[in-house]
Structure 1
Amino acid sequence: MKENQFSLTAIMCAYLRAYHAKYDEPKIFDDFLADQIIPDENRLLIEEGLTKHLQLKAPELAASLPDQATALKLVARAMNSRSILLSRSRYTEETLEAAIKQGTQQYVILGAGLDTFAFRRSDILVNLQVFEIDHPNTQNFKTQRIKELGWAVPTQLNFIPMDFTQESLDAALKKSSYNPQVKSFFSWLGVTMYLTREEVFATLRTIATIAPTGSRIVFDYFDIDIFDAQKTDTQIQEELAQVQAAGEPMKTGFDPSMLASDLANLGLHLHENLNQAEIQRRYLQGRKYAHIAQAVVK
């Protein structure tokens, strides 16, 4: 991320969640607040960019469409169909609900971005403390937007600024009311690919150390093959180039066949490791190189 810049991918993810909630059926994940949390000026920039992208990649198709709204609908649906954005959010909250029934009382959202959970899920917030951890620039952008909207911040919601490339999760949580004796649930979505392998492992090792036995973490990751031009299609390569140009380069992938042993060395047990076929079968979504994993503190 560039200095003093908030996460552009966080806003783009919120835009795609919002579009799905407003227009798509059947709904995989209904983030009905995502549309509100995106400032109008950012929404306009996104829509201009998507329209230009379609005009560049498929000029004849773009010219045949009656208006910008139709073009945006086409592009947004295509992007959602290729990503695990919606699937990973639904999987996480389904897993969290099950964990709460088993005694989980703390929910730590790593790289929260414009996540709306604490404002959207009052039904399960009553006995749950929520800790949103994100880069200070992105978190400041979000909290300012919440003030502009006049949303009341739930007493259970705690904001913790942290740069994963500079700080440790342990140090960040010690500054908050996080209780290391209470069973916790961690989500880490859309982040691991932007960090180094060492940074990812350092955070996972910290979770295994500070959270009690039975605590869980759900995270998504890219197959290491995504960074091999000989094994990926041109569209994937273009997407990698685009995020790098935006100042948020993707750096890391993992070998799915080695993940269980990698996590075991950190003190975590791999409970589930969904690949493309399994994600698509469960949620009708999927991307060839993306995976969702759930691990349990041993």
Structure 2
Amino acid sequence: MDHRASATAVLIAAATVMRGDTSGPGTAPAGAPAWCERFLSTTLSHHWLLASSQSAPGRACWRLLESLLLPGAVSHWMRRKREIDRLARDAAANGFTQLVVIGAGLDSLAFRVCEERLYPSIVFADHPATLNVIRKALGADARDMARGIEFISLDLAQQEINTVLAAAPGFDRRRSTLVVIEGVLMYLSEPDVARVLRSIVPLPNPSVRMIISWMVAEPGKPVGFAHQSRFIPAWLARRSEPMLWGSTPAAIPAFLDGLGWSNTRVIDLAGDDRLEPAEARGLQSEQLAVAERDRLS
């Protein structure tokens, strides 16, 4: 993974393109498909994936593979992105003026809210390999976009978030800040998850809110999606992206509380499964948590 963007990030970007012209619960957030098309235009392999996600035969093949290997995955990913989009907009409406997206991958949230000028200050932090893909996709627009978004290289395995952000010229310590960590923590060990989430707490900002996605798994049980094929863990391991950490809705508030967070809200992404009877089987395996870190004393 040191020289390429995350394989799951690439697949989710392609899934976002596929869901760009549909309606109903499985729809991508407004504006997201166009950005993902752009992100997938930088390499030959990504361009092939993009082309297959835009053609009727290609979409049929991907739907078949999804039903065999990871039922409900695409609907789940789109539900996750729409809910985070809603939470980010709610935070902006409630006085948060800085957005920090950690491990952003090929997600479009930062770029969409930048276009709308929803957050005066935006930080996009990820591994250098992913940032290279983003910068290449932006092309001639990179200079204009750089005035609205601060791009920061961040290796979660080696660096502390608060230290990296404090050193970034575009990070404003005076602003109330929303931190989003989506689709990242499941690939870290529990000690590393604790270290990452604890490292956000010392930020000097007047208030910090955090949104994380996390896998639902009982202690000692394998971490993964319900009804996934046995080939999925093997594929993730081969891509150096095995799922390592999960928790339960009952345990996550106490876990976050012990790291310096409070007022945790758990958001069940399954919603009303009756809306998607053919695709909902994979939706119960990942949820969101929203937690607060109020003004430091």
TM over 0.5: yes
Q: Any idea what SS the aligned residue of 2:99 has? A: strand
1:242 to 227, 235, 240: 235
2:9 matched to 1:10?
yes
Q: What's the counterpart of residue 94 of structure 2?
A: 102
Q: Is the 8 A contact 1:184 1:211 kept in 2?
A: no
Deviations 1:132-190 (A, max 9, x none): 01011111121122117778415120000010001110121022131233210011111
Secondary structure of the equivalent of 1:170? helix
- Note closer, same or farther for the CA distance 1:135–1:80 as it changes in structure 2 (3 Å cut): farther
* Mapped partners of 1:279, 1:100: distance in 2: 27
* Counterpart for residue 73 of structure 2: 82
Deviation, 1:244, is 0.9
Does 1:295 pair with 2:286?
Answer: no
Q: CA deviation at 1:76?
A: 5.9
Partner of 1:159: 151
Aligned to 2:37: 35
Pick the aligned partner of 1:142 from 130, 134, 148. 134
Paired AA for residue 253 in structure 2 = A
> Could you tell me how far apart the structure 1 residues matched to 2:71 and 2:226 are?
18
**Could you tell me which amino acid in structure 2 is paired with residue 121 of structure 1?**
V
- Report the counterpart of residue 54 of structure 1 in structure 2: none
Select 1:91's aligned residue among 83, 93, 100: 83
Residues 38 and 137, structure 2, Cα contact 8 Å, conserved in 1: no
- 1:70 is aligned to 60
Q: Distance in 2 between matches of 1:291 and 1:203?
A: 18
TM alignment of 1:200-219, pairs within 5 A: 200-210=193-203, 212=205, 214-219=207-212
Greater Cα shift, 215-224 or 226-235: 226-235
Instruction: Work out which of the residue numbers 163, 172, 179 in structure 2 matches 1:171.
Output: 163
Q: 1-side partners of 2:134 and 2:117: how far apart?
A: 20
Q: Give the partner amino acid of 1:247.
A: S
Q: Residue type matched to 2:44 in 1?
A: E
Letter in 2 for 1:203: V
TM-score (structure 1 length as normaliser): 0.81
Equivalent AA in structure 2 for residue 82 of structure 1: A
**Whole-Å separation in 2 of the counterparts to 1:246 and 1:271:** 33
The answer to whether the 8 A contact 2:194-2:259 is kept is yes
Residues 176-219 of structure 1 deviation map (CA, whole Å, 9 limit, x = unaligned): 13123321001111100111112211221122221545421111
CA contact (8 A) 1:225 1:232 kept: no
**C-alpha contact 2:16 2:28 (8 A) present in aligned 1:** no
Alpha-carbon offset, residue 272 of structure 1: 1.8
AA partner of residue 143 (structure 1): R
Higher helix share: 1
Superposition pairs of residues 208-287 of structure 1, within 5 angstroms = 208-210=201-203, 212=205, 214-225=207-218, 228=221, 235-278=228-271, 280=273, 287=283
Show structure 1 runs of 5+ residues with no match: 51-65
Contact conserved, 1:118 with 1:125, CA < 8 A, in 2?
no
* Alignment deviations for residues 84-103 of structure 1 (CA, whole Å, 9 cap, x no partner): 31122111121111111221
- CA gap of 1:187–1:260, structure 2 versus 1, over 3 A, is same
CA deviation string 1:3-37 (max 9, x = no partner): 3232222111111111111x322225231321222
What is the identity, as a one-letter code, of the residue corresponding to 1:72? W
The sequence identity of aligned pairs, in percent, is 20
Q: Which runs of 5+ in 2 are unaligned?
A: none
Once residues 189 and 285 of structure 2 are traced to their aligned partners in structure 1, the CA distance between those partners, rounded to angstroms, is 17
Tell whether the 8 Å contact from 2:114 to 2:148 is kept in structure 1 after alignment: no
Per-residue CA shift, 1:16-62, capped at 9, x if unaligned? Answer: 111111x3222252313212220262345547999xxxxxxxxxxxx
